[in-house]
């Protein structure tokens, strides 16, 4: 469990969240965020060195708001297949429905999304936070291969989830398609003999 941000950081993140929702990712400036947070730009820059570090903190906060509740939901399922299928599907649906994430993975923002989510390791970090307890428990019970590199696996899952968010829609048909693809290809890769 990570430490909670200070009240000052939370205030900045709340202001940034409102600005990104109002102006969009491309048009929001650090000046907009400082003004909305009612602080000076110098104070903002002492906390966040640039817009990308601010966006990274905001994505991290938004993801962490749901990690424990979502993980508890999938851990209540009976089988590894159900946990993996529903966990990935749930994360994709959250990504589709979160306005910031949806805007971030839009074609217009893909370069920024690649920097924030992939190059920095943020997507893998957050995916590892979500999946590590689930996958470690499955490895301990022999449900998945003992030789799996969980960090590498989480990177693969994060890339898969981002691809689904970008390429598929939030429709019942595409949700069923995600479930089938994960059940047919992801789960067997976790359980096949190494």
How many separate helices (H) and strands (E) can be counted in the chain?
11, 0
Question: Looking only at Cα atoms, what is the longest distance across the chain?
Answer: 58
CA atoms within 13 Å, Cβ hemisphere of 139 = 14
Q: Do residues 82 and 22 make contact, with C-beta atoms less than 8 angstroms apart?
A: no
Q: Do residues 54 and 48 make contact, with C-beta atoms less than 8 angstroms apart?
A: yes
Q: What is the pLDDT tens value at each position of the chain, 194 positions in all?
A: 455 568 889 999 999 999 999 998 889 999 999 999 999 999 999 999 998 899 989 989 988 988 989 999 999 999 999 999 999 999 999 988 888 887 777 777 767 777 777 677 888 899 999 999 999 999 999 999 999 999 999 999 998 998 898 888 999 999 999 999 999 999 999 987 65
In 80-171, alpha helices (H): 80-97, 99-104, 110-113, 122-140, 150-167
Q: How many C-beta neighbours within 10 Å does residue 134 have?
A: 18
Output DSSP code: residue 142: T
Q: How far apart are CA 178 and CA 137, in angstroms?
A: 24
Q: How far apart are CA 124 and CA 181, in angstroms?
A: 21
Q: 40, 61, 55, 79: which is closest to 126 by C-alpha?
A: 61
Q: How far apart are CA 19 and CA 28, in angstroms?
A: 6
Q: 29, 28, 58: which is closest to 41 by C-alpha?
A: 29
Q: Write down the pLDDT at residue 105.
A: 75
Q: How far apart are CA 108 and CA 55, in angstroms?
A: 16
Q: Write down the pLDDT at residue 160.
A: 93
Q: Write down the pLDDT at residue 5.
A: 64
| Domains of the chain, CATH where assigned | 1-49 (1.10.10.60), 64-191 (1.10.357.10)
């Amino acid at each position: 469990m990570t430490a909670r941000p200070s009240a000052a950081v939370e205030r900045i993140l709340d202001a940034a969240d409102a600005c990104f929702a109002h102006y969009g990712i491309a048009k929001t400036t650090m000046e907009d965020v400082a003004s909305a947070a009612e602080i000076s730009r110098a104070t903002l820059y002492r906390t966040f060195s640039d817009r990308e570090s601010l966006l990274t903190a905001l994505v991290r906060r938004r993801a962490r708001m749901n990690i424990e509740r979502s993980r508890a939901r999938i851990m209540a399922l009976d089988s590894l297949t159900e946990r993996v299928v529903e966990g990935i599907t749930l994360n994709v649906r959250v990504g589709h429905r979160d306005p910031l994430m949806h805007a971030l993975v839009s074609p217009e923002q893909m370069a920024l999304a690649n920097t924030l989510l992939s190059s920095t390791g943020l997507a893998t970090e957050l995916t590892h936070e979500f999946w590590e307890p689930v996958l470690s428990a499955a490895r301990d019970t022999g449900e998945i291969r003992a030789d799996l590199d969980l960090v590498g696996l989480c990177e693969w899952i994060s890339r898969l989830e981002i691809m689904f968010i970008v390429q598929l829609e939030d429709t019942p048909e595409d949700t069923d398609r995600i479930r089938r693809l994960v059940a047919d290809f992801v789960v067997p890769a976790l359980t096949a003999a190494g």
